[in-house]
Amino acid sequence: MKLLPDSNLFPSGREHFKDWAGLDTGSMAAVLAELARSEEHLFVVLAPNTGRAQQIADSLSFYLASSPDSVANATVMLFPDWETLPYDHFSPHQDIVSDRIRVLHQLPTTHKGILVVPVNTLMQRLAPPLHVTGNSFLLKVGDIFDMEATRARLVACGYRQRDNVYEHGEFAVRGAIMDIYPMGAPQPFRIELFDDEIESLRLFEAENQRSTGKVDHITLLPAAEFPLSAEGIARFRSNFRDTFDVDTRHVPLYQDVTDGLAAPGLEYYLPLFFEHMATLFDYLPDDVRLVELAGCQPAIEHFWDDVEQRYESRRHDIHRPILAPWQLYLRPEELGAALKQHPRARQNDSDAAVQFDVAPMPALTADVRASNPLALLHTFSDAHPETRILICAETAGRREALLELMQKIQIQPVMKDNWPDFIADPARWSLTRGELDAGFYAPQHHLLVVTENDLYGERVLQRRRRKSSSDDGAAEQAFRSLGELTVGSPVVHLEHGVGRYLGLTHMEVDRQQHEFLLLEYAGGDKLYVPVSSLHLISRYGGGDTAPLNKLGTEQWSKARQKAAEKIHDVAAELLNTYARREAREGRQFDVDMNDYDRFSAGFPFEETPDQQAAIAAVIADMQSSQPMDRLVCGDVGFGKTEVAMRAAFVAVENQTQVAVLVPTTLLAQQHYESFTDRFADWPVNIEVLSRFRSAKEKTQVLQRLQEGKVDILVGTHQLLQETVAFDNLGLIIVDEEHRFGVRHKERLKQMRAECDILTLTATPIPRTLNMAMSGMRDISIIATPPQKRLSVKTFVQQHNDTAIKEALLRELLRGGQVYYLHNDIDTMEKTAENIRKLVPDARVGIAHGQMRERELEAVMSDFYHRRFNVLVCTTIVETGIDVPSANTIVIDRADKLGLAQLHQLRGRVGRSHHQAYAYLITPSPKVMTKDALKRLEAIEQATDLGAGFMLASQDLEIRGAGELLGEEQHGNIETIGFSLYMEMLEQAVEALKRGEQPDVEKPLSGGPELNLRIPALIPEDYLPDVFGRLTLYKRIAGCKTRDGLKELQVEMIDRFGLLPEPVKNLFAVTELRQQADRLGIIRLDAHATGGKLEFGERTPVDPLTIVKLVQSGPNRFKLEGANMLRFVEGSETAEERIGVVGELLKRLSAQSIKKD
């Protein structure tokens, strides 16, 4: 196929341009793709805005990506906008800067392909090319590497030194290891030195910090678009003083740069860092060709007007003076002159335009209510029998739905994998899948490409982003982590009670350096806890005021004993609730691994380790004889649905039915589409019960359900009604259980004992989380975000019209949509009117719970299809349909909402690869409650992706957890702290399960006390970060097995380098403690000439064994009383002492009584 005409498409002289006529959105992409394939040039496509740029880039990827002859040659690049407003007070996200610098680095050597750029981005003045090339360097294995010089160079290039590396532009140094996340790189790298030579370069995962593979070289690009070298800072200071007549002592941004810090919004002072600025044109190869899409000229004028307007409103701020527009951007006339320097084509229907072999798209709109919805397409086909037709569906599910529709009207299309396959096949009708925004019609080539937008009106493309494999340890580490302890935080010592954490401190004991956790108790008493005893410490987590205990009194032991008695009752009650489920033999599902593997292979992303773990746990639950009751907790968009689909597949394969229960009709529809899409290639019958179905259709569905002809039924609480009768229900999947009412929850409670239940939630409500944490329900946490997803920038601020206007404009100017949450229905119309005044271009819609349901659905559907771009709404949108183009949410009176609600609402945005924003608008702090302030602080801090689980834990703390188990328990939780309470509850439940009575006298054992008088710590020069050391101390102390300790050692060597002796000692002492614990030893003391050990009452060691041991060497061993064994053996070094103690424990282990 050849869409390009034979005439010249570009002018031969540089002063003129050529118009291209007859091209619309769809045909333009096809023409550009053919150009890129056939010519050895770089084509720069100018788009009027960010949204159009993204659309054309996606369409070009469809036409070019699968073409065998172009995969290596014709690349598609997008030079992204900063996605901030001119003169903004904060900087673009690092991932956006990373993409920009990668493109700038690639451009000079790219001679074939397409670069897409929005015109406002093209108008930006940029750092000169020398900034990118001069600050880029190559590192190879075997290179001589000066750590200090490289560190200084990286800082000058804008890299930020951190304790651990998580995002682009960060590096960390630990001894002979440097971790770095280069700009433009898909993964961070670990540089390991041997002396001053690079011994290895390894890729590693940012989430768990573990190495994944080796490379022989890496390229480091600058981490910012401005230099923070001494020379760059000096030039900035000099130019700033020359440009602005202000007192620099009162300009925070100037002071920050003086200190070598990249102040937020520093990008808008770029010219002050350089003698001469550049533009994107300076980066382009000489033979570049320009293609200007329709709408660019008005967009250029509009953007320039906006910049000037924003300049006028901000120019008089003496604390933040700003540069004139022409210093930051090309004027429209300057841009026009630059465009004339290159051969250029414009999408414009003029008389002298080049004509293409395309015609306007025929009217093909489907009528979903008609008996033949595709009647117009059918009519067109009959009238043009020689035309080949390709229909492009966005997903596999929609492809299957279209196939079914076509087969009903006797059309049998050929399934195609990609564009080249279609071109090569003369078949009349073809069907494929791809992200194509619009189709086109080429009559002379007898070709018609039809997209879903052409048939059904504009839809939102759900951009699929591959996920990176990532953290498999984050989930377990989320529990009771000490890593986030701040000085002054209350903590609980198992034996001494509640005190305040004052930090880590070093002390010399027995002429050896040791590190201690310093705690303060009532009356100012201090307690030094050796780091090897960190297993005795837990976070308090029981509300605002922690009652500190007094050392040396019985206050703590009495409180602990009283709590233990009450916990016994709670544990018994919990066990009764779950007794039916535990006792009853459930259905054991079989898994056909061949079919299951084929289904799994249909998942379009790479599973993250968290996902894999959750899926494995669910499948194992289903294969066991007990009914499953598992909670899968993961932030919105983190892949919980796929876990549910795997479970549904197993259930259906076992000839049982699946009920998918969701809180709203719109969500039911979306889940129905998702399931249909995922099961498209399988003979699975999926139905939905919602108001979108007529009464007759509902009756038919229920009838077929009862007959066993429906495999998966999606619906709202209607599914829980007695009238809904399943033939053989095997699995219930519940999405966001906390949205259902008490009656529905009771019904679910009954069903829990009858079949497998899988609950999905983004923020578990405290009771759910509490059950899961106390072992009554199983929990899986998915804490790994999709690779391209950025965390939501969250701001808490008082109401201010200017700030709200900026928030709306920032989103609307990049083609996005905004949720404006206002929870007072009476004043919603007034709020909407105010938004229209603030932003006249905004198309505003309203949604609230008092609207008729069909009206509400129509509004949500219109918002989804982008018929308006600001939705003023109540919390009704908390659980709703995915709108990937909505990336800003403004929450009015955020102080009135709960933590779980705030997190859910924030999860409405940030579902694409754009930076998302959440603005929490509040009144003055003086009129807010303490709890509200704490909630807002928690949500503002928990911006990390995957923060939902941590927020639920904090929610428990804020509420004091009292309402979960009754007011009587509230006092116990407050006395001993939430973490310890949960630990004791867990142990009580385990004891009752075994048929034993929990020991109320000694609720929890702190394990044996060991003192070997050897240095056992993590030295500061090995790991300087206090929080890092604290977390590792807790992880080492918490290891239950030898294998667990080995894994942790491997991880530490990988992350920080070879273990120093004190760290090896720490691991050895921990392993000895595990052995001593198994032998019922409560105290072990060792020194240079020997030592002693004391046995507890329940030791499994036979007393006769100890007697025999003493008899075998009376000079070495001596028994003192019934429980104390002394030993004499010299051990000068730490290694010898560890060996002596280890050998003794080994001898005792060999003779210990075998427990039943």
d(CA 1106, CA 228): 69
**Structural tokens at position 495:** 């034996």
Please, what is the Cα angle at 1125 between 1121 and 1130, to 5 degrees? 145
Q: For residue 869, what is the DSSP state?
A: S
Tell me, what CATH number does 270's domain have?
Answer: 3.40.50.11180
> Is the same domain home to 760 and 671?
no
pLDDT digits (tens, 9 = 90+) for 765-792: 444 445 545 555 677 777 666 554 567 8
pLDDT digits (tens, 9 = 90+) for 20-54: 988 888 899 999 999 998 888 999 999 999 889 98
pLDDT for the residue 476: 38
pTM (predicted TM-score): 0.64
pLDDT digits (tens, 9 = 90+) for 878-908: 666 778 788 999 999 999 887 767 877 887 8
User: What percentage of the chain reaches a pLDDT higher than 90?
Assistant: 37
**Structural tokens at position 1087:** 């020194």
Contacts of 7 (CB under 8 A, 6+ apart): 354
Q: Is residue 539 part of a domain?
A: no
pLDDT digits (tens, 9 = 90+) for 389-398: 999 987 776 7
Q: How many CB atoms lie within 10 A of CB 897?
A: 22
Q: Which of 460-469, 594-603, 698-707 has the highest mean pLDDT?
A: 698-707
> Is the same domain home to 26 and 109?
yes
Q: Is residue 4 part of a domain?
A: no
Dihedral over Cα of 482, 488, 490, 496: its sign:
positive
Above 50 in pLDDT, residue 928? yes
Long-range CB contacts for residues 685-689, cutoff 8 Å, separation at least 24: 685/709, 685/710, 685/711, 685/712, 686/710, 686/711, 686/712, 686/713, 686/714, 687/712, 687/713, 687/714, 688/713, 688/714, 688/715, 689/713, 689/714, 689/715, 689/716, 689/718, 689/719, 689/724
Q: Is residue 1013 part of a domain?
A: no
Q: Which of 841, 869, 184, 751 is nearest to 458 (CA)?
A: 869
Taking CA atoms, 441 is separated from 35, 265, 389, 457, 1050, in Å, by 18, 46, 9, 17, 60
Q: 1141: part of which helix (H) or strand (E)?
A: helix 1134-1150
> Is the same domain home to 634 and 772?
yes
Tell me, what CATH number does 896's domain have?
Answer: 3.40.50.300
Tell me the mean pLDDT in the region 234-262: 93
pLDDT for the residue 1149: 84
> Is the same domain home to 829 and 921?
yes
Tell me the mean pLDDT in the region 693-721: 90
Q: 1142: part of which helix (H) or strand (E)?
A: helix 1134-1150
Q: For residue 799, what is the DSSP state?
A: -
pLDDT for the residue 765: 45
Contacts of 1100 (CB under 8 A, 6+ apart): 1078, 1079, 1080, 1152, 1153, 1154, 1155
Tell me, what CATH number does 759's domain have?
Answer: 3.40.50
Contacts of 297 (CB under 8 A, 6+ apart): none
End residue of a domain, out of 320, 355, 390: 355
Q: Is residue 305 part of a domain?
A: yes
Tell me, what CATH number does 425's domain have?
Answer: 3.40.50.11140
d(CA 815, CA 285): 30
Q: Is residue 878 part of a domain?
A: yes
Q: For residue 1020, what is the DSSP state?
A: T
pLDDT digits (tens, 9 = 90+) for 47-94: 999 889 988 998 998 888 764 444 446 789 999 999 888 998 888 888
Q: Is residue 1016 part of a domain?
A: no
pLDDT for the residue 942: 66
pLDDT digits (tens, 9 = 90+) for 627-647: 888 888 876 667 888 999 999
> Is the same domain home to 869 and 930?
yes
pLDDT digits (tens, 9 = 90+) for 171-181: 999 888 999 99
pLDDT digits (tens, 9 = 90+) for 386-439: 999 999 987 776 777 788 778 878 889 999 888 888 888 889 999 998 888 899
Taking CA atoms, 1024 is separated from 164, 175, 501, 1028, 1049, in Å, by 11, 10, 19, 8, 18
> Is the same domain home to 709 and 765?
no
Q: 139: part of which helix (H) or strand (E)?
A: strand 137-140
**Structural tokens at position 998:** 């929990």
> Is the same domain home to 1136 and 1083?
yes
End residue of a domain, out of 919, 944, 969: 944
* Domain limits for position 735: 463-483+555-655+728-787+961-1001
- For residues 817 and 863, is the Cβ–Cβ distance under 8 A? yes
Q: Is residue 9 part of a domain?
A: no
Q: Is residue 227 part of a domain?
A: no
Domain count within the chain: 7
> Is the same domain home to 285 and 384?
no
Q: Which residue has the higher pLDDT, 941 or 450?
A: 450
182 falls in which pLDDT band (50, 70, 90)? Answer: very high
Dihedral over Cα of 364, 368, 373, 379: its sign:
negative
> Is the same domain home to 687 and 811?
no
pLDDT for the residue 1023: 84
The SS3 assignment for 1126 reads: strand
Residue type, 202: R
198 backbone dihedrals φ, ψ, rounded to 5°: -70, 115
> Is the same domain home to 984 and 940?
no
CA Rg, the chain, in Å? 33
d(CA 1126, CA 1110): 9
Taking CA atoms, 347 is separated from 20, 44, 64, 985, 1132, in Å, by 5, 13, 21, 70, 85
Q: Which of 848, 856, 847, 845 is nearest to 691 (CA)?
A: 856
Q: How many CB atoms lie within 10 A of CB 2?
A: 11
Q: Which of 299, 250, 281 is nearest to 344 (CA)?
A: 281
> Is the same domain home to 278 and 159?
no
d(CA 343, CA 291): 9
> Is the same domain home to 739 and 681?
no
d(CA 1122, CA 1101): 12
